[in-house]
Amino acid sequence: MTTTTQKRQVGWKNIIAWGSGDIFGSGAGTIIGLWMLYFYTQVAGLSPIEAGLIFAIAKVWDGFTDPIVAYITDNIRTRFGRRRVFILFGAPFLLVFGLMFISGFGFGYYLATYLLFNTMNTIVMTPYSTLPNEMTDDYQTRTKMSSCRMTFGQITAFVVTFIPGLIMARVTDQAEAFMYIGALFAVLFTLPWVFIYRYTWECDPASLPPKEEVGGFKDTLIHLYKEMATTFQLKAFRFHLMMYIGGSVALDIFGSLFMHYMTMVIGLTPTQGGTALSVMTAMQFVGVTLFTWVALKSGNSNAFKIAIVFMLTSLAFFGLLPGLDGEMAVLVLVGAVIMGLARGGIYLIPWVVFNSIPDVDEALSGKRRAGIFSGVMTLGRKICQATAMLIASIGLQYLGFESGAEVQTLDTINGIYWLFLLAPTVLALLALYGAIRFKLNKENHEVLVTEVNRLKAGGSKEDAPAEAKQVVEMLTGWEYEYIWGNKAAKKKAKKGMLEPAN
């Protein structure tokens, strides 16, 4: 296959340009994860259940828009490409981020702005995530691109944690402070897309398969949901999602309840809690570097396991804090350092791994479907964040939390203690199980790609090396005879076995 991927070399300017996309991806996610629930309940005046309803409705909406965008990016053909055309269109609309943090409106306004922002997020991030898979098929280069993306993400996470605290320290009116925060970061999140569009590329259009023709809108919608469902047929992707969703939701719940836990359970001031957040996000940056090194030395799944152990250690430490003597503000920083390192690894590894998942799918389906996998990941990330927010907001409502109140009841404080500790722990253990079962590594990936290239060149499945058969079956979860677009044969074989003999 002659593609742009083979003709152009990915240099550092391309890696850096693409990686800068996480200024938006991580930055917006961090602000929403750490401050959105607080803004809705403490500044905008929404009840916890109203805030949770916004996140829930947004996920229903995403379940409709995300697969549509993913499907279109795999099948559209324009003179601007099939992926980057969405970046060209969607990036200017990311300025809507600032509208979410204007106070003085009701439930309908905050629902509308959150839905609009999520739609623009989908339009930009779904094609963005597919680009490493189109720009290169080299495992190490993709790892460098993902690490660069995470580096930008961790720096941005620190900035978006630190700067809001500075603004709120200088602007006494919280409503006005959040308006400045929203406007500032709306501009910051929009600028990198100019460079991303300029220094990235896609596969040569001549190498792409024909567009799928499935009829009208209804048929197309049904088809693309079926396409998304087929991603779960891939064994490696199922365990990858377990790692990604388990780890991300655990961290999101932790982040969304962190300030509540610090101020109401530990007894710190909001400024001290903000300092702990800043330390945690600074160490997150260190964690990306640390776990990039660990992943290159011992493999992605092992690095992820270590990161989860760090997280569980930090949760246990935070759980013991209320019973310890000493300077609590200093002790909190110890837990923040450990959790920051863990966050770096937990956020990094799934996205490093993701860039090679479409290669496994190609062995099974015979197609390049990076867009549909990116759509599932984008939708999964938003579901993660919304689920975390929903758990936190419903939990607060159930525990009797009073919006805007400076003092909460003892039952509410005790409930926050257990919710903050137990929910992330259960999800972290789920992610750890996924990492234990995940088998895609550099060596297996090289065998897989070699076999896929052999089949593309017209090689016979009967001539496949024994090692290639073993690796393909282990990663896809399918017998070798049914790979390379032959999944339907397995259904026919099962049907034949079930039919009674004449």
Q: Dump pLDDT digits (tens) for 375-404.
A: 787 677 767 767 777 777 788 888 888 766
Distance CA 88, CA 69 (A): 14
Residue 331 lies in a domain: yes
CA gap 47, 352 in Å, rounded: 38
pLDDT at 405: 66
Q: What is the pLDDT of residue 217?
A: 60
Which residues have C-beta within 8 Å of that of residue 341, sequence separation ≥ 6? 283, 284, 286, 287, 290, 307, 310
Does a structural domain hold residue 327? Answer: yes
pLDDT at 15 over 80: yes
Neighbouring CB atoms inside 10 A of 414's CB total 12
Tokens of residue 456, six digits: 């593309």
Judge whether 465 lies within some domain. Answer: no
Per the model's pLDDT, the better-predicted residue between 351 and 13 turns out to be 13
| Mean predicted confidence (pLDDT) in 18-35 | 86
Q: Show the DSSP H helices in 366-408 as ranges.
A: 370-398
Residue 242 resides in a domain: yes
The pLDDT tens digits for 192-250 are 998 998 889 887 666 655 555 555 666 777 777 788 888 999 999 999 999 998 998 89
Tokens standing for residue 85: 């055309």
Provide the token pair at 125. Answer: 């991030």
Give pLDDT, residue 302: 94
Q: Write out the H or E segment, with its range, that includes residue 241.
A: helix 235-260
CB 40 within 8 A of CB 246: no
Task: Using pLDDT thresholds of 50, 70 and 90, give the confidence band for residue 497.
Answer: low
Is residue 449 a part of any domain in this protein?
no
Q: Please give, one letter per residue, the 3-state secondary structure of 127-175.
A: HHHHHHHHHCCCHHHHHHHHHHHHHHHHHHHHHHHHHHHHHHHHCCCHH
Residue 502 in any domain: the answer is no
pLDDT value at residue 207: 61
Output the pLDDT for position 121: 87
Residue with more model confidence, 449 or 91 = 449
- pLDDT tens figures, 423-461: 999 999 999 999 999 999 889 999 999 999 999 889 999
Tell whether the torsion through CA atoms of 473, 479, 481 and 486 is positive or negative. negative
75 against 25, higher pLDDT: 25
Return contacts of 173-177, CB within 8 angstroms, 24+ apart: 174/42, 174/43, 175/43, 175/103, 175/104
> What is the domain-level CATH number for residue 334?
1.20.1250.20
Percentage of the chain beyond pLDDT 90 is 34
Closest CA to 239 of 315, 305, 293, 296: 305
Q: Residue 86: pLDDT band by 50, 70, 90 thresholds?
A: confident
Which amino acid would we find at residue 144? K
pLDDT in tens, 249-265: 899 889 888 988 998 89
pLDDT score, position 151: 82
Please report the pLDDT score of residue 476 as a whole number.
94
Q: Which residue has the higher pLDDT, 310 or 408?
A: 310
> How many separate domains does the chain show?
1
Strands (DSSP E) contained in 82-128 are none
d(Cα 37, Cα 45) in Å, to the nearest integer? 11
**CA-to-CA dists, residue 121 to 28, 54, 81, 228, 438, angstroms:** 9, 16, 19, 19, 29
Q: Residue 286: pLDDT above 60?
A: yes
Please tell me the distance from the alpha carbon of residue 442 to that of residue 140, in angstroms, as a whole number. 8
Q: Which residue has the tokens 């959040």?
A: 178
Q: How confident is the model at residue 340 (pLDDT cuts 50, 70, 90)?
A: very high
Highest mean pLDDT among 35-44, 166-175, 328-337: 328-337
409 is in which domain, residue-wise? Answer: 15-203+214-440
Which residue carries 């990039």 as its tokens? 292
Name the least confident of 122-131, 134-143, 303-312. Answer: 134-143
Residue 116 lies in a domain: yes
Alpha-carbon span 122 to 124, nearest angstrom: 5
The whole-angstrom separation of Cα 10 and Cα 146 is 13
Instruction: Identify whether 484 is part of a domain.
Output: no
Integer CA distances (angstroms), 471 to 296, 352, 363, 445, 480, in order: 20, 20, 11, 9, 10
Name the residue among 247, 106, 116, 97 with its Cα closest to residue 178.
97
Helix (H, G, I), strand (E, B) or coil at 465: coil
pLDDT digits (tens, 9 = 90+) for 406-424: 678 888 899 999 999 999 9
Cβ–Cβ < 8 Å for 254, 420: yes
Q: What is the pLDDT of residue 385?
A: 66
Q: How does residue 341 score in pLDDT terms, banded at 50, 70 and 90?
A: very high
Cα separation, 61 vs 40, in Å, equals 20
